[in-house]
Structure 1
Amino acid sequence: MHPSDTRFAQLLEGLDRQQIAQSVARHGADAYDKCFSSWDHLLALIFAQLSPAASLRALEVAWNAHAAAHPQLGTGRLHRSTLSDANQRRPLAVFTETFARLVGQLDRRLRRDGRTLLRLIDATPIPLGALHGWARSNGRIRGMKLHLAYTPETHQPRLLDLTPATRNDAEIGRRIPLERGATYVFDKGYCHYGWWSAIAEAQATFVTRPKTNMRLRVRTGRPLPPEPEREGDGFTLLADHEVALASKGDSRLGMGLRRIQLRRHEGGARLTLVTNDLTRPATQIAALYKTRWQIELLFRWLKQHLAIRRFLGHSEEAVRLQLVAAMITFALLRLALRRHCPRVPILRFVDLLRQGLFEPQTWAEVRALLSPRPTATRRRRRTAHAS
């Protein structure tokens, strides 16, 4: 790290320019924009995620105000017309491959830790206005869906797809690369018997909710734990059965199924879960499904703190590029936090970056700014412990 490195330059440490150049050559991404390369484009869209600029004009002014920092980044001045043209015709593949490589860097740490492979799967709507004439409506929203798989233990996102709002969730779920030993948690919108069988064949498990029209017949009951142990974090177990589909779909499932029924403490609503996991205790399976709320929190955080509700262009290509750039930015933030500031909340980290993206500062100085100073009580305790 050079002493003059800015906060923004250090955030970009996770990007490998050589690998990005290979992606650019493979997809011919710079064929029509030689004066505004894919690297320039990527940096501009990452900067847009962390700046308050809400339009191309505002982004142009904010970026060009820091021209002295551009040579260190290997880029130059920004022209809004050039960015607008690039948003129309640059291939999305360079950006998606960049995101996949960042996920790979996060994944290496996960494999070293040997943690449980938990994958939460869900989609969030991206509403679009009347200026996006190409957007479709599913009757509830007019726009797109952002589909993600998410590992909550390591805050690791995995971009699955960007689709029209009319696309069925189960169709996207089937594109997920399945991992042996992983547990996939998803809602009833991802109901597809063939995919469930594929998960079982991959020696993985799933936890979900059945659709209201799914008919199940009980094969055998399973004993519930003693009364005190039926209580989980916010729920009480009611029943645990091994079941089968009571329809023609049964022939498509070459695995055992289990139905777990529980009652939520808040509101008293009953909840039914279906899983192919026949070994874990019912309380653990219910707790796994409860973790699905964490991907909802991720979607909320992305919409509140990154630019995925206001767009710099109206074309479908521009919207897709900006959404993938948002996920690249989130992955870079998580990578920087893991490597340099592991105990710092992401919101405080982002707030500090935004206060001076182009200020020269080392990671040690960033940590010092983000670490709370010990109170008088803490200092007395440290002194007493040392003595």
Structure 2
Amino acid sequence: MPYTIDPFCKQQKIPTFHELFSPVQNIFHSVPPLESKGNRPLQMNFEQQLKALIYYHLEEHSSGRDLLQELQEDDFARTEIAPPDGIKKSSFFEAINHRGIEQLLFIFTKLQADATKVLPKEYEHLGELVSIDGSFIDAVLSMHWADYRKGAKKAKAHLGFNLNHSIPSKIYLTDGKGDERPFVNKILSPGQTGIMDRYYQCHKDFDLWQTEGKHFVCRIKENTNKSVIKTNPLKPGSIVFYDALVLLGTPQVNQTEKPVRLIGYWIDAKEYWVATDRHDLTAEDIASLYKLRWNIEIFFGWWKRHLKVYHLIARSQHGLMVQILAGLITYLLLAIYCHNNFKEKVSIKRVRELRIKINNEARNLNFSPFGNYNFKEHAKNYDHAKT
């Protein structure tokens, strides 16, 4: 005889999953309401949609069909994640492709702010640091909006990564041809220092950022023209071979109006040239700051590989943004969980432990003849229900 879930068992939550989810639960009271856009009532409310997407990333599912099968057949997913009456394929994909962006953005923004209060600040002496970069997402030819080049479709995620707390901070989505540089102004706030690769070199932006009080550490091309205003002394034996206040670019063409500090240094016999407006740090500190830029590359790689964020559930731009936001929310929840329980950053080891713990708790609750089940409490609830 197949196992069936007693309705009173549903009240016994899987504690580890709900511990992971609890930072979001605390935000729900202020989330904008999710409303049906037609005459039919919602078959999946926002909490159920978010839980399903978190479960998708946490369990490394590779397709929407895979997730739907678990929501229908797995006891834990069916009772704790899916809507009480289940969810049909058409209703699920309609929800992903047409609803939830406003609510997910609200959750992501609030959760990111809450995480910065909980997680330790690793580079406090260097200020508020944000690495900025873009990442391609392979698309299929039917995704006409994801323009890239003939015979290939790609989307692009533009991300700000909070280096002090090792968490994502802001996200934007465009087609694959989308220019990355305009998103710096949207990602970076006054007082923060943006750390960027050579692609973001733009002398007009260097002037604009200084005017707006937004700091930057940006690698530039080695052959960039520079007009020296003042040189700074160098430390003997340092990797730094150049430190000066300069104007970048060609006069009357693309020269900066405001001077910038230019640092040149060697790493493994390779030259790096970095422009910045940070005059409060040593040249060696600037070199160290630029090295931190690679943390966003590490994040992109880990996020794609272990949370399957770029295994597409939807083909629309709306649906892809929903999936990416849910993946970022999942990562924030993992960051809070790993800090609270282990005082560590997110790692695949801790994520695997979390998955195993959730599965073990679900197995004990649903399949064990005894487990943690309180028979006396069940009998009392059963008698009460009959009356």
Two-structure CA RMSD over aligned residues (Å): 2.9
| Cα deviation, residue 249, structure 1 | 6.5
Partner of 1:61: 69
| Cα deviation, residue 342, structure 1 | 1.4
Count of equivalent residues: 346
Task: Give yes or no for the alignment of 1:24 onto 2:32.
Answer: yes
Say if 2:52 and 2:82, in contact at 8 Å, map to a contact too. no
Query: Hey, what's the Cα distance between the residues in 2 that align with 1:35 and 1:283?
Result: 57
Instruction: Tell me which moved more, 118-127 or 134-143.
Output: 134-143
| Cα deviation, residue 54, structure 1 | 2.5
Partner of 2:164: 153
Query: Hey, what's the Cα distance between the residues in 2 that align with 1:151 and 1:85?
Result: 33
Say if 2:134 and 2:156, in contact at 8 Å, map to a contact too. yes
Other structure's SS at 2:181 match: helix
TM-score (norm 2): 0.80
Partner of 1:237: 240
Equivalent residue letter for 1:335: I
Instruction: Extract unaligned runs of 5+ from structure 1.
Output: 231-235, 362-387
C-alpha deviations, 1:19-50, integer Å up to 9, x for none? 4464332xx54444522112111111111112
Say if 2:20 and 2:334, in contact at 8 Å, map to a contact too. yes
Query: Hey, what's the Cα distance between the residues in 1 that align with 2:195 and 2:271?
Result: 19
Other structure's SS at 2:32 match: helix
| Cα deviation, residue 3, structure 1 | 7.9
C-alpha deviations, 1:196-226, integer Å up to 9, x for none? 3343245442111224674321112221111
Cα gap change, 1:242 to 1:138, in 2 (>3 Å): farther
Task: Give yes or no for the alignment of 1:39 onto 2:47.
Answer: yes
Query: Hey, what's the Cα distance between the residues in 1 that align with 2:276 and 2:76?
Result: 57
Give 1:349-364 correspondences, 5 Å limit: 349-360=350-361
| Cα deviation, residue 191, structure 1 | 2.9
Equivalent residue letter for 1:312: I
Partner of 1:247: 251
Say if 1:187 and 1:208, in contact at 8 Å, map to a contact too. yes
Equivalent residue letter for 1:9: H
Query: Hey, what's the Cα distance between the residues in 1 that align with 2:171 and 2:60?
Result: 27
1:94 equivalent among 103, 124, 133: 103
Q: Which has the higher Rg, Structure 1 or Structure 2?
A: 2
Query: Hey, what's the Cα distance between the residues in 1 that align with 2:80 and 2:56?
Result: 18
Cα gap change, 1:191 to 1:29, in 2 (>3 Å): farther
Task: Give yes or no for the alignment of 1:120 onto 2:124.
Answer: no
TM-score (norm 1): 0.80
* Amino-acid identity (%): 21
Query: Hey, what's the Cα distance between the residues in 2 that align with 1:24 and 1:204?
Result: 31
| Cα deviation, residue 272, structure 1 | 1.1
C-alpha deviations, 1:240-296, integer Å up to 9, x for none? 12101343477864x43111112221xx22221111122321111111101111111
Task: Give yes or no for the alignment of 1:184 onto 2:187.
Answer: no
Query: Hey, what's the Cα distance between the residues in 1 that align with 2:35 and 2:206?
Result: 38
Partner of 1:221: 231
Partner of 2:56: 48
| Cα deviation, residue 10, structure 1 | 1.8
Cα gap change, 1:129 to 1:70, in 2 (>3 Å): closer
Partner of 1:258: 261
Query: Hey, what's the Cα distance between the residues in 2 that align with 1:324 and 1:262?
Result: 38
Partner of 2:271: 270
Query: Hey, what's the Cα distance between the residues in 1 that align with 2:216 and 2:69?
Result: 49
Give 1:125-204 correspondences, 5 Å limit: 125-137=136-148, 142-180=153-191, 182-204=192-214
Task: Give yes or no for the alignment of 1:15 onto 2:15.
Answer: no
